[in-house]
Chains A and B, each alone.
Chain A
Amino acid sequence: MKGAVKAKGTVRMKGAVKGRGLQIYTWILVGWLVLPIAVMILFGFNDTSSKQNFVWEGFTLKWYARLFEKEDLTRALVNSLLIAVLSTVVTTVLGTLVGLALGRYRFRGKGLSNIVLFAAISSPELVMGASLLSMFVTLNIPRGIGTVVAAHVMFSIAFVAVTVRARAVGIDPALEEAAADLGASDWETFRLVTLPMIMPGVLSGALLAFALSIDDFIITNFTSGTTVTFPLWVWSSTRTGTPPQVNVMGTLIFAVGVLIAIVNVVGARRRKT
């Protein structure tokens, strides 16, 4: 606790009281953030018989057993996973190259590249989706998984590039020069020296791209045509009633995501000590 170093007793007392108040506030805020998630998880165990899963009717595990009973929902989830994997692979390669170039080299057009990345990150999704739809309609391109992947790669490249750039900026150029002096080819230098050093940035960029893709609704809605992804299926189900299987799938995705994040946090702490 850096703040506790203060010598004057009264200041420390006030500080402690203020700190406690803020701590309680933080917990209340976390409670608010977690509330709908807790409800989602809870109602995955609800023994409901009606189409509307609003009222608690008792505990059951049957929705976990009948998880894949709704074929169109399962297909939507499979589509989402497929799209996320494909777009993550493409995005990670393209975004890493851009991020590395921006972090390691000086070249004309660097400022422009930064502005383009900034525009891609800050453009409203609605506008990106609408403009993609305009293009696909104008050029008579049939919409489906391919167009969704193209769109997802487009909006996540900038995020991966920025993440990798932050990592690449910190690399000492002397290391790459040393590798070259020792007779390594450009490719060997990249593979054996540069890539391992930017790897944490590449991995977190890839995770980010996957998370952005699997969760995307607005752009997907505009570019998917008749293909349905998990968020689109959930959206359309709000009119008729969301079945408990949706809660179960949400719970499982949540659990996997949190697990990966915890591994990441613990891993980062290990590396530090």
Chain B
Amino acid sequence: MRRRLTPYLMVLPGGLWLLAFFAVPLVMMLSFSLMTGNIIDGFRPTFHWQNYTEGLERYGDKFVRSLWYGFLATCACIVLAYPASYWIAFRAGSRKSAYLLLLLLPFFVSFILRTVSWKFVLADNGIVLGTLKDWGLLPGDFHVLGTTFAVIAGLTYNFLPFMALPIYVALERIDFRVVEAAQDLYASRVQTFLRVVLPLSLPGVFAGVIMTFIPISGDYVNADVLGGPDNVMIGNIIQTEYFTNSDYPTASALSFTLMAILLVGIFLYARALGTEDVLEAAKR
């Protein structure tokens, strides 16, 4: 009897913690999103579901922009990370872990600090643009900060290792004899890649997409530090609604909408692929 209870007792403390600080808060946020009132007079539950429709009406474009930025930056991450992960997995030989560590170096610097550092690098009169302007290679009013490009580049930079790692893990697991077999059967390099290596590495790409697309769509740091007024994402709006306007019901409704969009997407996605696989590849 005691034996049968063992796994439950082991899961219990962690499970309770997740219940108290993950599940219950979500329920509280859901109830907040249906309230009306303000921070001074207090909020009352009124089942004011218009918070959702009004929120979507006012900030629908910000949702679309966040998902669009998420899509662009995730694609950029795949395109940039895949060749490097491929080379490290198949050709770096005994130096694999060393190269992998190089790809993961950004993890050792705080996320905020990395983004601020890009602001240094890209500043109008900073080391790159300032120098190029001094040499007359760029017009004096050229700038990168405050543009969409800067925000997407920053997002891509910050989340690239989350893409590179799962792709590497998936590629590294491929038995190289399969590739050799394809070549022995007269498959060209392109055919070998498209029909053997790429399909086998797709679970890694899928895991990478989850690890990058979700945090990118909910990010507000890059848009705030590197972007301008035209780059406001839904994260910036939610943050402002909470901290500047103290409009908790609207902020909760927006957060819940964001989560609904992302979680429904992920669960469909994970269902098609199996959660175990995705989780396995997702762990760093």
**A residues at B contact (CB < 8 Å):** 1-3, 5-6, 11, 14-15, 18-19, 22-23, 25-26, 29-30, 32-37, 39-40, 43, 53-56, 93-95, 97-98, 100-102, 104-105, 107, 109-110, 113-128, 130-135, 137-139, 150-151, 153-154, 157-159, 161-163, 166, 208, 211, 214-215, 217-218, 221-222, 230-231, 234-235, 238, 242, 246, 250, 253-254, 257-258, 261-262, 265, 268-269
Contacts and interface: CB of A to CB of B under 8 A. Distances in A.
Interface of B: 4, 6-8, 10-11, 13-15, 17-18, 20-22, 24-26, 28-29, 31-32, 80-81, 83-84, 86-88, 90-91, 93, 97-99, 101-114, 116-121, 123, 125-127, 130, 157, 160-161, 176, 179-180, 183, 189, 210, 214-215, 217-221, 225, 235, 238-239, 242, 248, 251-252, 255-256, 258-259, 262-263, 266, 270, 275-276, 278-280, 282-284
B28 A134 contact: yes
B258 A126 contact: yes
A150 B266 CA distance: 26
A25 B87 contact: yes
Given A3-B176, A36-B117, A254 B108 contact: yes
Nearest to A127: B259
A126 B238 contact: yes
Given A122-B210, A133-B242, A25 B83 contact: yes
Contacts of B248: 134, 137
B175 to A, nearest CB: 10
A241 to B, nearest CB: 11
Nearest to A111: B275
Contacts of B116: 234, 238, 242
B283 A118 contact: no
Nearest first, the 3 A-B pairs at minimum CB distance are: A124-B218, A257-B108, A36-B117
Given A39-B117, A163-B283, A11 B112 contact: no
